């Protein structure tokens, strides 16, 4: 299949720190790389996203004295998971997985660079006010439909998909080209169920590749 000119693929955060051995490793995170590489060949417009945190980001447990990793804490009025340090700007952990075919990216959206606000969605930061510019970019390209892949199902993939839907795009998530943090346990499946309930279409990469 070759996707139409009005269709884009969004590859969410396939970075070293989200793959085995990384600072916030997602089980099987590296398994999505070969599938996504095949999918990219079907699209003229491919968006890559990157968590791009400063070392002093306040969503890191290490920057909040007395805070445990995965504790929920209020951060500027928003409930925030306290994460292990990950995807720090300019580090190997923030780099894309080395086997990902990044030269097929049409644009790269970096998010989470404000130390006071985390950013799960590729469209909008967690304050629900600060936009990344992705919506405008896609609209300028005449995009109507987006297919979403990457890491992690229950956080950045889910928020990106739901914001894409709110922005007026027709949204598909290729579940086999995603992996979840699954924190809390069961959240990856719950995320897929919640997305589907909102009208996001959960598909397989084979639906595109066949």
Q: What is the pairing mode between strands 45-51 and 7-12?
A: parallel
The C-alpha atoms of residue 123 and residue 72 are separated, in whole angstroms, by 23
Is the separation of the CB atoms in 15 and 87 below 8 Å?
yes
Catalytic residue list: 13, 111, 156
Contacts of 10 (CB under 8 A, 6+ apart): 46, 47, 49, 122, 146, 147, 148, 149, 150, 160, 164
CB atoms within 10 A of CB 54: 15
Measure the CA–CA gap between 128 and 70, rounded to whole angstroms.
22
Helix-, strand-, coil-residue percentages of the chain, each rounded to 5: 30, 25, 45
Report the Cα 169 to chain-centroid distance in Å: 17
For residues 201 and 204, what is the distance between their CA atoms, to the nearest angstrom? 10
Verify cis geometry, omega within 30 degrees of 0, for the bond prior to 131: no
């Amino acid at each position: 299949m070759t996707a139409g000119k009005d269709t884009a693929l969004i590859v969410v955060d396939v970075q070293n720190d989200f793959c085995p051995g990384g600072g916030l490793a997602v089980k099987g995170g590296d398994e999505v790389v070969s599938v996504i590489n095949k999918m990219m060949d079907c699209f003229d417009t491919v968006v890559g996203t990157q968590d791009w945190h400063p070392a002093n980001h306040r969503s890191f447990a290490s920057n909040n004295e007395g805070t445990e990793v995965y504790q929920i804490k209020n951060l500027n009025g928003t409930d925030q998971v306290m994460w292990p340090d990950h995807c720090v700007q300019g580090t190997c952990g923030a780099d894309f997985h080395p086997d990902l075919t990044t030269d097929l990216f049409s644009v790269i959206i970096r998010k989470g660079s404000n130390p006071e606000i985390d950013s799960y969605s590729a469209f909008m930061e967690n304050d629900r006010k600060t936009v990344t510019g992705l919506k405008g970019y896609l609209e300028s390209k005449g995009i109507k439909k987006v297919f979403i892949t990457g890491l992690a199902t229950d956080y950045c993939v889910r928020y990106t998909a739901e914001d894409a839907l709110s922005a007026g795009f027709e949204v598909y998530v290729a579940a086999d080209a995603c992996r979840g943090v699954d924190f809390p346990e069961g959240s990856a499946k719950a995320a897929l169920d919640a997305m589907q309930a909102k009208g996001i279409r959960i598909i397989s990469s084979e639906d595109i590749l066949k």
